[in-house]
Amino acid sequence: MPRPLCATIHLDAMQHNLARARACAPASKIWAVVKANAYGHGLERGMRGFADADGLALIELENAVRLRQLGWVKPILLLEGFFDASDIPLLAEHNLNPTIHNYEQIKMLEYTKLYRPIDVHLKMNTGMNRLGFRPEAYAAAHARLAAIPGIRSITMMTHFANADELEHPRLPIREQLRRFRVGAEGLPGQRSLANSGGVLHLAELEGELPSDWVRPGIMLYGGTPGGKSASDYGLLPTMTLTSEIIGMQQLQAGETVGYGSRFESTGPMTVGVVACGYADGYPRHAPHGTPVVVDGVRTTLVGRVSMDMMAVDLTPVANARIGSKVILWGDGLPIDEVAHAAGTIGYELMCAVAPRVRVVEGRLGTTCG
């Protein structure tokens, strides 16, 4: 029998969340973002779960090629574009749309003969200060790209720094939109603007965010970019990480648990040992008090997470036994809650699920083992 730790991927929930994104942005086409192994769900599962999307967006060129080999015929967007001129023939061969965000990329395109035309996204830096041309330099970059014979279309793109917080004090989404409008003024082409935060706030931004394309990621996986919980937005969890209790210990007052002896019991208590540790992707920095569900009952982590195991307080779990089912996150325990307790975000937890964790597919409501 395999180790009881297992991630169940709910393709039905992925489809549901994509439909939610459509409902939020009815006038836009959707790039479903499947970077980082579809946020830890598996690239091929991402492709099947988001089969209804208008395109798939990701970072890794080799995975974009793999999507073509797996039969994806709709558009593919490379969110960081390409890194070397030798990548350019692959773009044409597999009809991949690169994001162009610096002059080096433009130069490479100018010096490489494209034997088939390509569509590109041209990125504007509207304050994120990661990738892209500043608004005042944007039109010139656009003109240089437009002069390259093999460029078929240029979609104008930017990325929001604080889409999860509409009234952010430093850089509100409306200020980024204003800069985008200034930089893109008078230029032809489609627009590609919103990540999940932008999509979820589209209604509040009303007519201010007309976007031909939107680029949701985390919301499609039942996580939120921040603030509210996924269920407030009608989103469903797409990954449920489950395991079992594989050991139990009766502690006396004053005894400690795990490495560093960081947790000390104040009275007699039962702790359960769960087969899941940081080598599985569970965050080692998750503190005492991080929520865990055992046998349907909510309880908490105690002591330090070790490589293969962690301990939980079984005091509230009346019928706990070896083999009791444990939910670490997902259906029954929102990943955002676990992430919040551990001082991180759901994105990081999903992406970090380790290769040794068994992964199965199952409808929402089912888990493996």
Ligand X SMILES: *Cc1c(COP(=O)(O)O)cnc(C)c1O
Q: Considering the complex, what minimum distance in angstroms separates the CB of residue 152 from ligand X? A: 21
Say whether 347 is catalytic.
Answer: no
| Binding residue (CB under 6 A) for ligand X from 14, 79, 141, 333 | 79
Closest approach of ligand X to the CB of residue 361, in Å: 22
Structure tokens at 91: 């773009």
> What is the distance between the alpha carbons of residues 81 and 287, in angstroms, rounded to a whole number?
38
Which residue matches tokens 């001082």?
343
Residue choice 159, 179, 201, 304 for contact with ligand X (CB under 6 A): 159
Residue type, 46: G
Q: Alpha-carbon torsion 286, 338, 173, 36, what sign?
A: positive
**33 is an interface residue for ligand X by CB under 6 A:** yes
Q: Nearest residue to ligand X, using CB?
A: 217
Q: Is 334 in the site for ligand X (CB under 6 A)?
A: no
User: What single-letter DSSP state applies at residue 356?
Assistant: T
Exactly one of 6, 21, 218, 245 binds ligand X (CB under 6 A); which one? 218
Respond yes or no: is residue 35 known to be catalytic.
Answer: yes
Whole-number CA gyration radius for the chain: 23
Q: Which of 226, 222, 219, 216 is nearest to 239 (CA)?
A: 222
**Of the candidate residues 162, 195, 224, 367, the single one contacting ligand X (CB under 6 A):** 195
| Comparison of 216 and 281: residue with beta carbon closer to ligand X | 216
Q: Which of 103, 107, 228, 259 is catalytic?
A: 259
Q: How far apart are CA 146 and CA 268, in angstroms?
A: 73
Alpha carbon distance 78, 58 (integer Å): 5
Distance CA 342, CA 27 (A): 37
Q: Which lies closer to ligand X via its Cβ, residue 127 or residue 225?
A: 225
Check residue 216 for interaction with ligand X (CB under 6 A): yes
Catalytic residues: 35, 259
Summarize as ranges the residues that interact with ligand X (CB under 6 A).
Answer: 33, 35, 79, 159, 195-196, 215-218, 225
